Amino acid sequence: MGRLGPALSPRLTCHRTLVPAPLGWDAHGRPALVRSRKTRAASSLGPLACVAAVGRGVWRLAAAAESQAAAVEEQPARTEGSTDAGAAGGAEASSKLVLVVGGTGGVGQLVVASLLSRNIKSRLLLRDPEKGVSLFGKQDESIMQVYKGDTRNPNDLDPQMFEGVTHVICCTGTTAFPSKRWDGDNTPERVDWDGIRNLVSVLPRTIKRLVFVSSIGVTKYNELPWSVMNLFGVLKYKKMAEDFVQSSGIPFTIIRPGRLTDGPYTSYDLNTLLKATAGERRAVVIGKGDKLVGEVSRLVVAEACIQALDIEFTEGQIYEINSVKGEGPGTDPEKWKRLFRSVQSN
């Protein structure tokens, strides 16, 4: 059962240069226009990009100052030692059917791989089901099913797709700045707002928990430096989606990651995915109130999503999440409970 393996497999290679991190972050997890394809894309945008480029140093300074202030002020950080103790949902595995939306993405593929390793049934909603097969292999339908759908199109979201689903993890997204991934109008407005609104509107009211992956900075999209990352609305639309989730009546947990590290992985086979670890950044830092600034391993985010499904008191809560060098909670539900509890206000 499921703890992700002990060492980052040398066979794993990231394709971050091919698929840039959707949001603009610098190497320290602070919002910035970083050198990547999205920067090049932004630089074809004339004045907007110039403003952003000129201000880059300022954004980094501002974010650094903000980061330090948050560290002093909030002190939400809780890290837990790692063990190989059991995985979330083990006991309940057979009774769960987790719908994963965005299962081919960086976080999503780790969520799916981890559910498979725990024997938890999943259903994937994918624009391209073939991608699912190449990532996870042909799985028995009793453990993993794949449906084709684009969240932007309400007609794709046939209620039949959601029959029997008990839990949902949604980690869809696109790039914050124009890129090839916007092709066919797959923009932040369409994916992060229309898509989430469409999805949440059709989810059965019997869902026990919807875990929605958003982003740090969503409550501050009008403020520097976040306003730079929000030039094309990604943070604003994610916040609108969060609000929609909150008022949907569906029991929810919102996870706001910092800048994502580790993956997406190009070695598209299940065993390799499961050998991935959060490298040295396994210690988890959880915050509340959108004060946390930093980076987080995609493996940690995926694990947080899976753990939150089963931790009752995370219902109705919004958490920011980072990870830092050190041992982490691994897949130990008790350690995750303590982490989430450490920032609980009610």
Ligand X SMILES: NC(=O)c1ccc[n+]([C@@H]2O[C@H](COP(=O)([O-])OP(=O)(O)OC[C@H]3O[C@@H](n4cnc5c(N)ncnc54)[C@H](OP(=O)(O)O)[C@@H]3O)[C@@H](O)[C@H]2O)c1
- Total residues contacting ligand X (rule CB under 6 A)? 30
Gap between the Cα atoms of 261 and 323, Å rounded: 9
Residue 335 near ligand X by CB under 6 A? no
Smallest distance, ligand X to C-beta of residue 185, A: 9
Interstrand relation of 167-170 and 209-213 (parallel, antiparallel or unpaired): parallel
Give the tokens for residue 36.
């990547």
Which of 332, 271, 328, 320 has the alpha carbon at shortest distance from 76?
320
Smallest distance, ligand X to C-beta of residue 232, A: 12
Smallest distance, ligand X to C-beta of residue 50, A: 23
Smallest distance, ligand X to C-beta of residue 338, A: 24
Contact 263, 285 (CB under 8 A): no
Give the tokens for residue 214.
């958003």
Q: Exposed e or buried b for every residue in 116-155, given b needs 16+ CB within 10 A?
A: bbbebbbbbbbbeeebbeebbeebeeeebbbbebbbbeee
With CB under 6 A as the contact rule, the residue among 32, 213, 229, 241 that binds ligand X is 213
Residue 25 near ligand X by CB under 6 A? yes
Residue 31 DSSP one-character state: B
With CB under 6 A as the contact rule, the residue among 257, 329, 330, 333 that binds ligand X is 257
Q: How many CB atoms lie within 10 A of CB 61?
A: 12
With CB under 6 A as the contact rule, the residue among 22, 287, 328, 329 that binds ligand X is 22
With CB under 6 A as the contact rule, the residue among 104, 179, 198, 248 that binds ligand X is 104
**What binding mask, one character per residue, do residues 163-202 give for ligand X by CB under 6 A, x or -?**
--------xxxx-----------x----x---x-------
With CB under 6 A as the contact rule, the residue among 127, 167, 220, 239 that binds ligand X is 127
Between 173 and 333, CB nearer to ligand X: 173
Residue 333 near ligand X by CB under 6 A? no
Gap between the Cα atoms of 107 and 262, Å rounded: 9
Q: Which of residues 307-326 bind ligand X (CB under 6 A)?
A: none
Contact 293, 30 (CB under 8 A): yes
Query: Of the listed pieces 58-66, 99-107, 306-314, 329-337, which binds ligand X according to CB under 6 A?
Result: 99-107
Contact 325, 283 (CB under 8 A): yes
With CB under 6 A as the contact rule, the residue among 115, 260, 305, 311 that binds ligand X is 260
Between 39 and 186, CB nearer to ligand X: 186
By beta carbon distance, the residue nearest ligand X is: 105
Q: Which residue has the tokens 């499904």?
A: 309
Q: Exposed e or buried b for every residue in 209-222, given b needs 16+ CB within 10 A?
A: bbbbbbbbbbbbbe
Gap between the Cα atoms of 213 and 340, Å rounded: 16
Chain residues binding ligand X by CB under 6 A are 21-23, 25, 102, 104-108, 127-128, 131, 150-152, 171-174, 186, 191, 195, 213, 215, 257, 259-260, 264, 298
